[in-house]
Amino acid sequence: MTPPRLLDLTRSLRRAGRMATGVDRVERAYLDHFIADEVPAYGLMRTSLGYVLLDKTGLRGFRGALMGLREWPVPDRLSKVSRGRNKALTQAETEIRQTSLARSLPIGLRRMLAANLGSGFTYYNVGHSNLTQRVMRSTKAAGGRVEVLIHDVIPLEFPEYQRPGTVKPFADKLDRVRRYADRIIYNSEDTRVRTQAVLQAQGPMPPSIVAHLGTIDPVADVSALPEGLLPNRPYFVTVGTIEPRKNHAFLLDLWDEMGADAPPLLICGSRGWNNETVFARLDALPPDGPVQEISGLTDPALNALIKGSAGLLFPSHAEGFGLPPVEALMLGTRVLCNDLRVLHEILREYGTFSPVFDKETWLNTIKCWENTPPNIDEKQKFVAPDWSTHFKTVLRLSC
């Protein structure tokens, strides 16, 4: 019998009620797979008061509320003890307490895991949250294995792009992974190379595997778009949080250079951090100009914008995987992106690559695509990595 699996869902708990990011989707994919599989599965979450353990029944209930299939419960009194937290989080904590298999204060985590899972279970952390010394040491003391999925080490390579005060905690977190993990799962070979380059100087690295992240066929629904949003001429889109790493400033420079002849550019994403200059440029855009900032679209609406565009532009300075260009190619949309090794690894020959210092190539390609409809040969259509292959790689040798 395969030993139980324990999935850390602290990130999903803390982000209840928010639009899912790429990392959120990975954690949910693991949740879905573990619920559907016949192997015993449990969920661990860190709340404001301690730890909560869910069995499969609790996991199904949590997933239903997380995906909007049913309402979260009314916050209980314990959820109101810690002030300053949003309503969605207090509701989510109420949900998991009501359906918990077991709960413990921080000091009792090891005992709770040992009593309910027995020896030999595997703890999976795929969301970069709750990677504390207490969790990893308690897991190992309870007879479990620790497996961690690393998405990237961008905060250590490009600290200038991060929120103030986040780089040191991230570095400490990764060093704990290096010291305690029994195995590291990397989302790309490029991420493995970059992570090991950063961490090897600190000491030996755990065994590792590479498993490309899976994808789900994106659904496009034009009817989900706000009325009047679709341009009446060929247009381009860029997708991602508006933060320095995503390099929106580069696209704004290109559109300034193209001037009055520029095609429409739809910048889709919420505003991030450390990007006041770009925010000011966006705020100064004329409402009837070619560049429009759009946020809050549903996935089907966003996919419809991407599918109908002349191309997705992705000038990001650094990526761990690059989900937006993958999904664009799945929708049959051309992708022009920065010349990053990880994007070559994932997109292969289906992407169009140009370094962002080569503005001329970007301008020429944009003008060409504006005037040339895409020619998609079904026999040569991009095939994205899938979750089935990912889990076969991860779970085949996990125990």
Domains defined along the chain, listed by start: 5-214+387-396 (3.40.50), 222-380 (3.40.50.2000)
365 falls in which pLDDT band (50, 70, 90)? very high
Map tokens 């509701």 to a residue: 91
* 243 touches 273 (CB < 8 A): yes
Tell me the C-alpha distance between 83 and 94, whole Å: 15
Map tokens 């928010």 to a residue: 18
- DSSP calls for 98-127: HT-SEEE-GGGHHHHHHHHH-TT-EEEE-S
pLDDT per residue over 114-161, tens digit each? 999 999 999 999 999 999 999 999 999 999 999 999 999 999 999 998
Query: What is the structure's pLDDT at 90?
Result: 86
What average pLDDT does this structure show over 238-266? 96
* 10 touches 129 (CB < 8 A): yes
Q: What's the per-residue H, E or C state across 36-100?
A: HCCCCEEEEEECCCCEEEECHHHHHHHHHHHCCCCCCCCCCCHHHCCCCCCHHHHHHHHHHHHCC
Query: What is the structure's pLDDT at 82?
Result: 63
Query: What is the structure's pLDDT at 374?
Result: 83
Statement: residue 55 has pLDDT above 60: yes
Tell me the C-alpha distance between 114 and 48, whole Å: 22
Query: What is the structure's pLDDT at 399?
Result: 44
pLDDT per residue over 257-273, tens digit each? 999 889 999 999 999 98
Please provide the size of the chain in residues.
399
Query: What is the structure's pLDDT at 379?
Result: 47
pLDDT per residue over 301-344, tens digit each? 999 999 999 999 999 999 999 999 999 999 999 999 999 999 99
- Predicted TM-score of the model (pTM): 0.92
| Beta strands at 311-314 and 352-353: parallel, antiparallel or unpaired | unpaired
